Amino acid sequence: MAKISESALQQEIMAWVGQNQYVYLATVDKKQPRVRPVVLILHDSRFFFTTFSGDAKMAQISANKWVEACVPLEESGQTGYIRFSGTAKVVTNDALKAELAEACYFFDQYFHGYDDPDFGLIEFEPDYAQYLRPGEGHSQGCNLKR
């Protein structure tokens, strides 16, 4: 694998993220990792997850902000991944929740409005990415300047 500049690697990673919304989110529940599939929403160069306010991941993130998200990749029958590590926080800002409710294509299937008490919003702030291009044998990492 040819080494490329960090900025070129960041651009390549973000191009993949733009076309792959289904990811696996890992949180920590006390001392036990918990992983589940979620939809990653990229909005104004920021990462978000919608969820139900009573879901365990909301409490887990409130207790421990460190998370990872893994984006599985597939191209021409070859697989790879992007692993993002960073922090997450529960969003309480109503204006931001309203904005994301409008941006989320499936929002109305689950919630009755941004002020629905069941609507939970998480912002993910990745600071590092480990990237394995589909079909390659070694990954590359880069810092994400946010």
pLDDT in tens, the chain (146 residues): 566 788 889 999 999 988 878 999 999 999 899 999 999 999 998 999 999 999 999 999 999 999 999 999 999 999 999 999 999 999 999 999 999 999 888 999 999 999 999 999 999 999 999 999 999 999 999 999 65
Task: Count the neighbouring beta carbons within 10 Å of the beta carbon of residue 105.
Answer: 9
**pTM of this structure:** 0.89
Q: Give the homologous superfamily in CATH for domain 6-143.
A: Electron Transport, Fmn-binding Protein; Chain A (2.30.110.10)
Tell how far CA 1 is from the center of its chain.
Answer: 26
CA distances from 5 to 95, 130, 136 (A): 37, 14, 18
Task: Indicate the helix (H) or strand (E) that contains 26.
Answer: strand 22-29
